[in-house]
Amino acid sequence: MSTTINFGIDLGTTNSLIAKSSGGNVEIFKNPAGHKETLPSVVGFRKERVLVGDKAREFITPIQLSSMVLAELKNFVYTGESLGSAIITIPASFDTMQSNATKEAGYKAGFSEVVLLQEPIAACLAFVNKNGEKIEDGNRLVYDLGGGTFDVALVSIKNGEMQVIDHEGNNYLGGVDVDNLIIEKFIIPEIEKKGKFANLKQELKSASGKHNKLYYELLYKAEEAKIMLSNTNTTDIEFEIDDDEDETLDLVISFTREQFNELIKPMVAETISFSRAILDRNKISAENVNEVMLVGGSTYIPLVRQMLQQELSIVVNTSVDPTTAVVVGAAYYAGTKPRVVQATASVQSPVIMAAEQSLQVKTAYQRSSNETMEYFSALIQGDLSDVFYRITREDGGFDSGIRPAKSRIEEVLYLLPNSFNQFRLSFFNGAQVQLPVNVPLIEIMQGKFTVYGQPLPNDICLEVDDVINKTTYLEVLFEKNAILPIKKTIVKTLSRTIVKSSNDQLLINVLEGSRYATAQSNLPIGVIGISGKDINIDLIKGSDIDLTIEITESRDIKINAYVNISGQEFSEVFTPTSRNINLERLKEEVEYLQRVANKDLAKLINNEDYESGRKLQDAITNLDAIQDRLNYLASDDVTDEKFQLEDQKRKIATIIDGAGKDNRVREIRERYFERKEIAAYFVGQLQNEHFKKRFTQITQDENEVLNGSESAIKRKIDELDHLNWDMRKRDLSYLSGVFMYYSMRPDADYRDPSRAAQLKQRGESAIERKSADELLNILYALYDMLIDKGEDEPLKGTGLG
């Protein structure tokens, strides 16, 4: 029985496929009904029956239930094999929530083991593992324009291994969006020319709309027209519709390739801008990219291929069927991926073991090879008297025999061609009883390319408190494009006391997105709330908490928190799978962003920062467009438009946050150097070792901080301000100047006006008597009494500092 997964599935937005790897070859299974390789990713319900695939497309109420599509794909496998494990592909830009939703669908479909693989990696494997072709080292772009998503990935190939360097994408840009564009920009205007309609668009797209049934029929016809126009210059779209006066319109609308190209040109241009961005960000010119590999059915559109070639000036590779590339690559990968379920079972199988032998083994070998033999070596530490070893290939085709163990062993391993070879290194005593030495399988891919891990699509951050500035900021745990699996342990301190039995809580909030954005604009992917009701003693401010965050290759997130002061441990594995959008809340957020953006725009214009102002004005224009679409959207809208709009809103929020950032950072840096200069002067004047040490500690990582986030620079400024205050708070002339600021504020600014008036009188007297200590205490008292200390409304915070 095979020890590898072998089965790969392309779970597409519009079509899905299943394939198997065997002996280095891939077979795509066909639908027993119709003998087509693809299964439409659509599920329809009609009375008591559930229809999957082509039949479901005929009805107007399709519900995309991924688990049912996956279960149907299992029926394609005619060999009678039990499919317990599978590789399922996802877009590279899928966030953790979307990834885990896919995995959950696999489990519901009956798989006991699901491993996720990013589509660009799968597609690239299909291109480079074609038989008989020599693949040169270098960079490739994988351009994947599928049914529902767009991804472009920059892939490096070196010494038989592939690594995704970077990627860009849009989860709401694909063939389905082209179909919608045809309906909204071409078909609807043509219908409105022929009949009388008050609100045709909403009546089509609303679940309760009069023409909602026709909407799904038009989607199918728009797709058919799109496919036809990839091969011909004109096609007809035929259908019937009753207008608002119940007059039946029997329409035949002629649609030309020229009209089609004009519709989709901006969309194709957007995909090319993504492609350029990924090259620019990685400082790679077009001359240093070997080729663009086309993936996804929408890349059959002639305009897509034409614009790619013209705009990027990179060779376009069309040698692999773009509709099957992902599933073929997934199967190749599945043929190299050991089955965890089987590995667990083998460990639990009964075997006579000798007493534990303390041996440490380090192995060295090439993980991929184009040769039929590969050199293997291992260093062994421990007592090797009466110890023997044996190396066997899992298929039984190679056996080194039992040999005496040495501190260094060397073997030549014979490889099966075009296959994933697994060898087991075992140890025995003189009685040939196996010793319990845990050595990972030796895994070598012969004649095929392998994958060097899968990258994170976004930064993974921890939300922590900025106590001084009364807000929170994001601390990076794992950077974008870090290779999975990944694990990290950090120590944090409590920024406030959590009282036992109270309702207050410590929040360990892990988010996905950009480290430079606000926590509110990132996606929460795992949060542990430790309430006062969960703890056995008060958690005192300043005490430590140990955090371990681990992310698996398939994007499970495990968070473990150990609270040192109480000895309690809190742990949870997160697999967030659902995403809900509250339409009213989304409208409120858009309106809020409009207010913020307009206010910031006025500041930028006042500062004559017209470049940032232009970007902000574009963001405002886009927000206005989103608001218009939201106002039009029915609360029971059956499309994914609200998800598209929410995704666009989050991106615009990032733009608004970044608008004028250069000016803000410049001002903050200037403020930092101003405070540093003051501190340096007084450190030199006072010649106090304690102050010298503090100054050195604050400024020692200056370059790193100044090139970091705004909040990091602000925190350094706060540290310098505290140092300057501590050095000058005994200086009567300085204190007198500070007192003048507080004394000039109206008594009404203080919680107790009469008490404030008394303190002001005492302060004047202290200055006359030159009593610095008394004046200092008066200043503290006045500050504490201020109603508004000039601070923004503080956030609750997480409790982590």
Average pLDDT over residues 245-274: 94
Q: Which CATH number do you get for residue 461? A: 2.60.34.10
Instruction: Report the pLDDT averaged over residues 449-462.
Output: 83
5 and 115 fall within a common domain: yes
- Cross-strand bridge partners of residue 542: none
Q: What percent of the chain clears pLDDT 90, i.e. is strictly above it?
A: 37
> Is residue 791 pLDDT above 50, yes or no?
no
* Domain shared by 8 and 117, yes or no: yes
Cα–Cα distance, 163 to 137 (Å, whole number): 12
Asked if 95 and 647 touch (Cβ cutoff 8 Å), the reply is no
For residue 552, being part of any structural domain is answered with: yes
**Final residue belonging to a domain, choices 516, 548, 574:** 574
Confirm whether 672 is domain-assigned.
no
Residue 605 belongs to some domain of the structure: yes
636 within a domain of the structure (yes/no) = yes
| Mean residue pLDDT across the chain | 84
- Characterise 270 by phi-psi region: left (phi > 0), alpha (psi -120 to 50), beta (else): alpha
Residue identified by tokens 């590339």 is 325
257, 368: one domain: no
Helices (H), 471-609: 583-606
- Examine the pLDDT at 649 and tell me if it is beyond 50: yes
**Do 800 and 545 form a contact (C-beta atoms < 8 A)?**
yes
Q: Do 1 and 120 lie in a common domain? A: yes
Q: What residues make up the domain containing 397?
A: 353-451
Whole-number pLDDT of residue 387: 93
CA dist 125 and 329 (Å) reads 5
pLDDT of residue 349: 34
Question: Same structural domain for residues 473 and 567?
Answer: yes
Taking residues 288-294, report their average pLDDT: 95
What is the rounded CA–CA span in Å between residue 148 and residue 52?
19
Q: Residue 79 maps to which CATH number? A: 3.30.420.40
591-641: pLDDT as tens digits: 878 887 888 888 888 888 888 888 889 999 999 999 998 888 887 776 778
Q: Residues 220, 236: one domain? A: yes
- pLDDT computed for residue 374 by the predictor: 92
**CA 176 – CA 183 distance, rounded (Å):** 11
- In single-letter form, the type of residue at position 89 comes to T
Residues 411 and 502 in one domain: no
> Which runs of E-coded beta strand occur in 541-685?
544-551, 557-563, 568-574
Give yes or no: residues 333 and 384 share one domain. Answer: no
> What pTM does this model have?
0.67
Q: Specify if 48 maps to a domain.
A: yes
- pLDDT value at position 207? 83
Residue 513 sits in the same domain as residue 608: no
Confidence check: pLDDT of 305 > 60: yes
Least confident of 46-60, 216-230, 515-529, 723-737: 46-60
Residues in Cβ contact with 266 at an 8 Å cutoff, skipping those fewer than 6 apart: none
Q: Are residues 439 and 498 in the same domain?
A: no
Say what the pLDDT of residue 642 is. Answer: 79
Q: What is the pLDDT of residues 321-366, one digit of tens each?
A: 999 999 999 999 998 888 875 433 333 333 444 444 578 899 988 8
Higher pLDDT, 369 or 754: 754
Are residues 639 and 558 located together in one domain of the fold? Answer: no
How many domains does the chain fold into? 5
- Residue 498, pLDDT > 80, answer yes
Check: CB of residue 301 under 8 Å from CB of residue 146.
no
Boundary (domain end) residue, out of 597, 631, 659: 659
- Count CA atoms closer than 13 A to 268's CA, side-chain side: 21
* pLDDT surpassing 50 at residue 59: no
Domain end marker among 408, 433, 451: 451
| Cross-strand pairs, 138 | 157
As a whole number, mean pLDDT of residues 374-395 equals 92
| Predicted confidence (pLDDT) at residue 415 exceeds the cutoff of 70 | yes
Better-scored residue on pLDDT, 132 or 539? 539
Residue 35 within a domain: yes
Q: CA 219 → CA 287, 314, 767, distances in Å?
A: 40, 33, 82
Is pLDDT above 80 for 373?
Answer: yes
Say yes or no: 4 and 125 in one domain: yes
- Residue 239 sits in a domain whose CATH number is 3.90.640.10
Number of neighbouring beta carbons within 10 Å of residue 744: 8
User: Is 713 part of any domain?
Assistant: no
> Would residue 43 count as lying in a domain?
yes
**Average pLDDT rounded to a whole number, residues 742-758:** 88
48, pLDDT greater than 60: no
CATH code at 435?
A: 2.60.40.10
Task: Work out the number of other CB atoms within 10 angstroms of the CB of residue 517.
Answer: 19
